[in-house]
C-alpha cells in the first residue's frame, strides 16, 4: 500500500509539473493569441491596463528563438519568443521606442548574428553596411517594407551588443550613400 501511495504521488507530481510547464508558455503554437500576450506583457506591473495598438510583421527564427518586429502605438520594436518543447512560446523580451532602426549582435546556439529592424516604407534603402572593424564588414539587403527584420551571420569574435551608429552606412539602389537622409536612432536588439 505504501508503494502504491508513493507511485501515485510521483505520477501526480509529474502531471502537475507538466501542466505548469505547459502554461508557463502562454503563446499558442500558431501565435493566434500573440497580440493579447504582448499587450499583457507590456502592461505587467501597471496598476491600470492600457490597450496598445500592436502591429506584427514577418518574423525570423534562429534556433528556438523567434524575433518578431512590431509597432506598438506606432513605435518600432520587437518581441522575442522562446519556444518550448511542446511548441508553445513565451515572451522572453521586448523593446520598442522612437526612432526608425534597431540593431544588435546576438549569440544563439554558439553562432552570432547581426540583426536589423527598421522602416523602409518608400524603398529608399536597399543595402545597409556595418563596419565593425577593419576586418569585419557585413552587408544586409533591405526589402521595401513598412517595417522589416533582416539578419546575417557574423564571425564568432564579433562583440555582442548594438553596433554604433557611426559604423552603419545606408545605400540606395544606385549604390549611393544615403545615410545622412535618415535618423539612425532607435535602440538595440538583444
* Strand pairing category for 186-188 and 101-108: parallel
Interior/surface letters 67-97, b for 16+ CB within 10 angstroms, e for the rest: bbbbbbeebbbbbbbbbbeeebbbbeebbbe
Inform me whether the pLDDT recorded for 174 exceeds 70: yes
pLDDT digits (tens, 9 = 90+) for 4-13: 777 777 777 7
Three-class SS of residue 13? helix
| C-alpha of 187 from chain center | 12
Contacts for 177 with CB less than 8 Å, ≥ 6 apart = 169, 170, 171
Q: What is the pLDDT of residue 18?
A: 64
Q: What percent of the chain has pLDDT over 90?
A: 55
Q: What is the value of pTM for the model shown?
A: 0.86
All domains of the chain in start order, with CATH: 1-97 (3.10.450), 99-190 (2.60.40)
Provide the H-helix boundaries in 24-80: 34-42
Amino acid at each position: 500500500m505504501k508503494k502504491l501511495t508513493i507511485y501515485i504521488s510521483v505520477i501526480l507530481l509529474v502531471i502537475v509539473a507538466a501542466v505548469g510547464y505547459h502554461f508557463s508558455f502562454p503563446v499558442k503554437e500558431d501565435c493566434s493569441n500573440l497580440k493579447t500576450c504582448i499587450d499583457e506583457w507590456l502592461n505587467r506591473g501597471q496598476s491600470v491596463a492600457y490597450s496598445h495598438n500592436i502591429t506584427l510583421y514577418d518574423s525570423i527564427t534562429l534556433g528556438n528563438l523567434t524575433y518578431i518586429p512590431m509597432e506598438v502605438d506606432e513605435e518600432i520594436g520587437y518581441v522575442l519568443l522562446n519556444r518550448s518543447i511542446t511548441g508553445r512560446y513565451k515572451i522572453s523580451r521586448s523593446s520598442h521606442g522612437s526612432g526608425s532602426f534597431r540593431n544588435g549582435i546576438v549569440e544563439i546556439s554558439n553562432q552570432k548574428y547581426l540583426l536589423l529592424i527598421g522602416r523602409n516604407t518608400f524603398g529608399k534603402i536597399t543595402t545597409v553596411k556595418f563596419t565593425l572593424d577593419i576586418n569585419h564588414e557585413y552587408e544586409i539587403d533591405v526589402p521595401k517594407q513598412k517595417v522589416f527584420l533582416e539578419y546575417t551571420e557574423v564571425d564568432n569574435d564579433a562583440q555582442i551588443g548594438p553596433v554604433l551608429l557611426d559604423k552603419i552606412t545606408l545605400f540606395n539602389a544606385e549604390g549611393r550613400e544615403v545615410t545622412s537622409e535618415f535618423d539612425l536612432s532607435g535602440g538595440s536588439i538583444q
